[in-house]
Amino acid sequence: MSAVILRVAAIALLVAGCKSTTPLVAANENGFAVYTASQSAATIPCDTRPVQLNVNRTELRLTGPCRFVRLTGEHNDVYVELAPGGSIEITGSHNDVTWRQLQPGPEPALVDRGESNTYHHDET
């Protein structure tokens, strides 16, 4: 009996750490493309709308050029391809955001209104 309990516990731990790769679909709210997800990994193409990410524990790649991205969740790893002079705003906590500007131009506005967030510049 204890061996069965251990197997069930091990499977539960493995499943809890998995990330869904189901494509995310944006809701259109007040002119924003709004994505809501938890424990997901996805690539999201930016269009002309600003993007809001209401996400937790995700690995996301936003392909650009993205003009404005707002991240409201926690414990996310997000990569953003920005338009020149674009903006990223974080209101969540414990997020790592890597950004790359696709073309020469004005530097982006990087705003952190949350806690324990980090920005990383990909200069490639």
Instruction: Decide if 7 is inside a domain.
Output: no
Beta strands in the chain (DSSP E): 27-29, 32-38, 41-45, 51-56, 59-71, 77-90, 96-101, 109-112, 118-121
**Residues 8-66: pLDDT tens digits?**
444 443 444 555 566 788 899 999 999 999 999 999 999 999 999 999 999 999 998 99
Domain count, the chain: 1
- Domain that residue 33 falls in: 20-121
Does residue 11 lie within any of the structural domains? no
**The whole model's pTM is what?**
0.82
Query: Is 57 a member of any domain?
Result: yes
Q: In 3D, which of 61, 64, 38 has the Cα closest to residue 49?
A: 64
3-state secondary structure of 14: helix
